[in-house]
């Protein structure tokens, strides 16, 4: 607190009265606690450090314009304790993921952000040009193929927390620049990674919520203390599409006709596997509220995953859904170089037919597999969506300090 008579003569009228909310001042004095326990400074000296030239929003209502909050995050952080808390929680979640993996002997590594051959996911990449090398380069869509090269090289447990870039649309769930953790474990399979993922998310939940395993998100509650549900793609399609029979799930014509009735855009190249996934994403994905692992993805949509021993038409792959959103994707890795090369060739055919998200052929990765990669399981977890869940945020922009926005209109 400041006593007027403790200030220099004329200071109150010439300086102090002209200061505004938002100005940054420096004070010196005696630190003490009031009778109510509030930490207070009895000011002996005071000076203006920085003058704020723009008025802050009115404190009670804060910054209510959502677009302004995203464009001017600095003002949002000044005004909103809740916003500051959300980003502190984001940092805490990332730290917990890192600690969990390093405690289990995973080695944190860094792999290229600019790649000559983008790979590791089905997505359209951003393209740039390297002047000195006179070649096109791509911002990475995933670090997967480089991390698996490290497994070939003898690093049996590796992970990376970093940015990926995908030249796709903006939505409440998508930002073209986003953060993921990817990790790979030799001599493990996808079942072990599902167990690890469930345990890690439960650990994060209990740590940030003081042993409480129930997460509240947008009016719903999800209990991370219970075993996560597990079902196959086909089981999910049948559950959410009572009109379909098990036999129809093997019939390309029947699936295409049904998908068309749902007004799903289709390509002539879609086989049974791709049609199944299109139907699942349209009718079932958004209904997977409680933590659920969907398994047995078709080979057609899983070019990097190991085939299942009992059913070669599907792979040992899972995706984790919470609150109707995909949170994680993992699988037992394909380590047969001939099978991988054939699947890359299939992806090239899809690209030639107009699929801009189909994968490129990566000859060096095939060469790495020819040196021998041990049985391995790998996974990627979207950190932004995970933070959305734990901060009860409806949009991915709420958990990104500086989300991508359309150019601001002039004037």
Domain identity same for 157 and 41: no
Same domain, 324 and 374: yes
Cα 407 from Cα 396, distance rounded (Å): 18
In this structure, are 151 and 193 located in the same domain?
A: yes
Concatenated DSSP letters of 252-295: HHHHHHHHHHTT----TT--HHHHHHHHHHHHTGGG--S-EEEE
Q: Are residue 45 and residue 86 in the same domain, yes or no?
A: no
For residue 175, which of 163, 185, 184, 187 has the smallest C-alpha distance? Answer: 163
Q: Tell how strand 39-50 and strand 135-139 pair up.
A: unpaired
Helix ranges, 18-137 (H): 66-71, 73-79, 81-102
Instruction: Tell me if 256 is assigned to some domain.
Output: no
- The answer to whether residues 101 and 217 belong to one domain is yes
**DSSP code at position 103:** T
CB atoms closer than 10 angstroms to residue 132: 5
Task: Report how far residue 249's alpha carbon sits from residue 306's, in angstroms, rounded to the nearest whole number.
Answer: 21
CATH number of the domain residue 51 falls in: 2.40.50.140
Angstrom distance (rounded) from CA 315 to CA 199: 23
Say yes or no: 202 and 308 in one domain: yes
Residues 189 and 317 in one domain: yes
Residues 109 and 197 in one domain: yes
Strands 177-186 and 376-382, sheet pairing:
antiparallel
Q: What is the CA radius of gyration of the chain?
A: 27
Cα distances from 227 to residues 198, 200, 201, 218, in angstroms, run 8, 13, 12, 22
| Burial group, residue 307, by CB count within 10 angstroms (0-12, 13-18, 19+) | middle
| Same domain, residue pair 50 and 193 | no
Beta strand extents in 256-405 (DSSP E only): 292-295, 317-322, 325-332, 376-382
| Residue 43 is assigned to a structural domain of this protein | yes
Total of domains in the chain:
2
Q: 3-state SS of the chain: helix, strand, coil percent to 5?
A: 35, 25, 40
Task: Specify whether 170 is located in the same domain as 312.
Answer: yes
Phi/psi at 376 (5° precision): -145, 150
**CA proximity to 396, closest of 37, 188, 40, 90:** 90
Residues 43 and 130 in one domain: no
Q: What is the pTM of this model?
A: 0.92
pLDDT in tens, the chain (411 residues): 788 777 777 788 888 888 998 999 999 999 999 999 999 999 888 899 999 999 888 765 566 788 889 999 999 999 999 999 999 999 999 999 999 999 999 999 999 999 999 999 989 999 999 999 999 999 999 999 999 999 999 999 999 999 999 999 889 999 999 999 999 999 999 999 999 999 999 999 999 999 999 999 999 999 999 999 999 999 999 999 999 999 999 999 999 999 999 999 999 989 999 999 999 999 999 999 999 999 999 999 999 999 999 999 999 999 999 999 999 999 999 999 999 999 999 999 988 888 888 899 999 999 999 999 999 999 999 999 999 999 999 999 999 999 999 888 765
* Structural domain containing residue 23: 4-55
CATH of the domain at 100: 3.30.930.10
Using CB atoms within 10 A of its CB, is residue 204 exposed (0-12), middle (13-18) or buried (19+)? buried
Strand order in the sheet with 107-108: 107-108, 157-165, 177-186, 376-382, 325-332, 317-322, 292-295, 229-232
Q: Would residue 246 count as lying in a domain?
A: no
Residue 123 lies in a domain: yes
What is d(CA 225, CA 214) in angstroms, rounded to the nearest whole number?
Answer: 7
């Amino acid at each position: 607190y400041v006593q007027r008579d403790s200030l220099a003569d004329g200071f109150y009228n010439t300086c102090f009265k002209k200061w505004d909310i938002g100005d940054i001042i420096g004070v010196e004095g005696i630190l003490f606690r009031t009778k109510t326990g509030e930490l207070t400074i009895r000011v002996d000296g005071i000076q203006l450090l920085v003058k704020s030239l723009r008025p802050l929003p009115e404190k009670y209502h804060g910054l209510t314009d959502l677009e302004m909050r995203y464009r001017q995050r600095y003002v949002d952080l000044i005004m909103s304790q809740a916003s500051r808390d959300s980003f502190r929680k984001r940092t805490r979640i990332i730290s917990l993921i890192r600690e969990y993996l390093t405690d289990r002997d995973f080695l944190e590594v860094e792999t290229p952000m600019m790649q000559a051959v983008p790979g590791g996911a089905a997505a359209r990449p951003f393209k740039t040009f390297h002047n000195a090398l006179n070649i096109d380069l791509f911002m990475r869509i995933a670090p997967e193929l480089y991390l698996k090269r490290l497994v070939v090289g003898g690093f049996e447990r590796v992970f990376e927390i970093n940015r990926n870039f995908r030249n796709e649309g903006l939505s409440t769930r998508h930002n073209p620049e986003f953060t993921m953790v990817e990790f790979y474990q030799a001599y493990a399979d996808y079942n072990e990674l599902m167990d690890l993922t469930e345990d890690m998310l439960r650990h994060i939940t209990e740590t940030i919520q003081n042993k409480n395993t129930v997460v509240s998100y947008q009016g719903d509650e999800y209990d991370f203390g219970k075993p996560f549900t597990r079902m196959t793609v086909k089981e999910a399609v049948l559950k959410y599409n009572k009109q379909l029979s098990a036999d129809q799930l093997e019939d390309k014509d029947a699936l295409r006709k049904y998908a068309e009735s749902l007004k799903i855009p289709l390509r002539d190249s879609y086989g049974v596997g791709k049609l199944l996934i299109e139907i699942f994403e349209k009718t079932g994905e958004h209904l997977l509220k409680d933590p659920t692992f969907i398994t047995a993805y078709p080979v057609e949509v899983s070019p990097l995953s190991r085939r299942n021993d009992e059913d070669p038409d599907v792979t040992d792959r899972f995706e984790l859904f919470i609150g109707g959103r995909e949170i994680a994707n993992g699988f037992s890795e394909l380590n047969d170089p001939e099978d991988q090369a054939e699947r890359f060739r299939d992806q090239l055919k899809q690209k030639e037919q107009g699929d801009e998200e189909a994968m490129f052929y990566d000859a060096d990765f095939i060469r790495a597999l020819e040196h021998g990669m041990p049985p391995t399981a790998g996974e990627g977890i979207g950190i932004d969506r995970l933070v959305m869940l734990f901060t009860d945020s409806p949009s991915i922009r709420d958990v990104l300090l500086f989300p991508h926005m359309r150019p601001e209109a002039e004037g």
